[in-house]
Amino acid sequence: MKSKIILATFVLFFWGLVVHAQDTLKPIHTHLHKAQIHADSANVSHPSHETLAKDTAKLHKQHANAMPKYPRNGYVALAYGLGSPAGAYAQNEGALTGSLFSLSAALPGIISHWGVALKFDHGTNNINAGRLSSTLTNNAGFPNISCSLPFTLGHCSYSSFLGGLYLTCPSRHITIDFRLLAGTMISTIPSLAIEYFDQTTGTSSLQYQGEASGSAFAIDFGVEARYPIMQRLLIFMSMDYIHADPSFPFVTTGAELTSNGGIFQGSGQEETASQAFSLFNFSVGAGYSISAKKQAVPKTN
């Protein structure tokens, strides 16, 4: 995971240098000033070295005042979409694609095309009972024991609070933003009733696992496309990958397994285990555009 963060940071920084180099427009009056220098030089038979040095310095100063082609604006926006589980969250926990609500803001013009981004996400994912039953059976580790989930399942949920940098790439109609965020994710796994069935003896018993919550450091890589439909109103599409590894204190009561694969009624136990939450989030929304600070306009001769 650390290598992914380092790679994403490097790519984002390099892309920022490329965008900064391309998204500038040299002042038109520079060419006029060049023509004026040549005209003045033609009228003087032997221009002094001091005169040429002053003209060159002035020309370079005007080049430094390059203007951006398009405004680099930020936004405040609301979005709604889908969260698609990935990795162990989908395979082990059996999480299914669920709903996503997002509130985000981007503050523009901090340094060139870079700005500060803030993001809050809240999502829920239902559980695939068949997939989770298969995972529990494999975790039991005995060929004679199978697991099932006889009752209706709740859903997993998560809330993330993130902040970081974003890189904006404006164009005439559509603006593309890239972001690298970090923060905290608070996750919840619902309570479960697990039925253990011993195929050798034909006996079964229920184990109850209480709802558990945990929090962990989270990282988010995102990209979005924005389109203004009015002067300040915009619509956008967004895609993010978010990952965290929270730990959960699981409390179980009822049936337990013996060391040789038998079922007995235990006194209850508590153990802490981690469960990765990895998702690809896709959302659409609307927002209010925030203008960057006004750019300085170079003086013309």
Mean pLDDT across 158-166: 97
CATH code, 228: 2.40.160.20
Q: How far apart are CA 156 and CA 219, in angstroms?
A: 19
Q: Which two tokens stand for residue 190?
A: 């619902």
pLDDT of residue 152: 83
Taking the mean position of all CA atoms in its chain, how far away is CA 174? 20
pLDDT of 172: 83
Residue 143 has pLDDT above 70, yes or no: yes
Q: Are the beta carbons of 250 and 270 closer than 8 angstroms?
A: yes
| pLDDT tens column, 210-232 | 999 999 999 999 999 999 998 88
Task: Indicate whether 29 belongs to any domain.
Answer: no
Crossing angle of helices 29-43 and 49-64, in 10° steps, is: 170
Instruction: Compare 298 and 172 and report the one with higher pLDDT.
Output: 172
Which range has the worst mean pLDDT, 33-42, 176-185, 209-218, 244-253?
A: 33-42
Q: Is residue 105 part of a domain?
A: yes
Asked whether residue 186 is assigned to any structural domain, the reply reads yes
The pLDDT, as a whole number, for residue 64 is 47
Domain presence at residue 64: no
Q: Give me the DSSP letters along 77-93.
A: EEEEEEEEE-THHHHTS
Give the Cα separation of 72 and 92 in Å (integer): 43
| Pairwise CA distance, residues 204 & 225, whole Å | 54
What does the buried/exposed string (b/e) look like for 37-53 if buried means 16 or more CB atoms within 10 Å of the residue's CB? Answer: beeeeeeeeeeeeeeee
Does residue 12 form part of some domain?
A: no
Share of the chain above pLDDT 70, in %: 73
Q: For strand 277-290 and strand 155-169, is the pairing parallel, antiparallel, or unpaired? A: unpaired
- pLDDT higher than 60, residue 198: yes
pLDDT given for residue 161 in this prediction: 98
pLDDT higher than 50, residue 240? yes
Residue 16 lies in a domain: no
The pLDDT score that the predictor gives to residue 253 is: 94
- Decide the pairing of beta strands 192-198 and 204-209: antiparallel
How far apart, in Å, are the Cα atoms of 55 and each of 40, 62, 126, 261, 265?
A: 10, 11, 70, 91, 93
Give 28's pLDDT tier (boundaries 50, 70, 90).
very low
Domain membership of residue 25 (yes or no) is no
pLDDT in tens, 103-140: 999 998 756 788 999 999 999 999 999 999 999 999 99
In this prediction, what percent of the chain has a pLDDT beyond 90? 61
Does the model's pTM come out above 0.85?
no
Give the largest CA-CA distance in the chain: 113
| Burial (0-12, 13-18, 19+ Cβ within 10 Å), 17 | exposed
Would you state the pLDDT for residue 73? 84
pLDDT of residue 44: 47
pLDDT of residue 294: 53
39: pLDDT strictly greater than 90:
no
Query: Confidence class of residue 29 from pLDDT cuts 50, 70 and 90?
Result: very low
Domain region containing 152: 70-290
Planar angle of CA 83, 73, 120, nearest 5 degrees:
30
The answer to whether residue 298 sits within a structural domain is: no
Give me the residue label for tokens 């809050």.
Answer: 120
Residues near 45 by beta carbon (within 8 Å), at least 6 away in sequence: none
Q: Which long-range contacts (CB under 8 A, 24 or more apart) does 2-5 make?
A: 5/219
Average pLDDT in the 3-30 region? Answer: 46
Per DSSP, 95 falls in state B
For the ranges 1-5, 138-142, 154-158, the lowest mean pLDDT is seen at 1-5
Task: Give 73's DSSP letter.
Answer: -
The total domain count for the chain is 1
> Residue 43 corresponds to which tokens in the numbers above?
């009228």
pLDDT at 6 over 70: no
The C-alpha atoms of residue 56 and residue 193 are separated, in whole angstroms, by 80
- Cα separation, 53 vs 300, in Å, equals 20
Residue 33 has pLDDT above 90, yes or no: no
For residue 48, the model assigns a pLDDT of 58
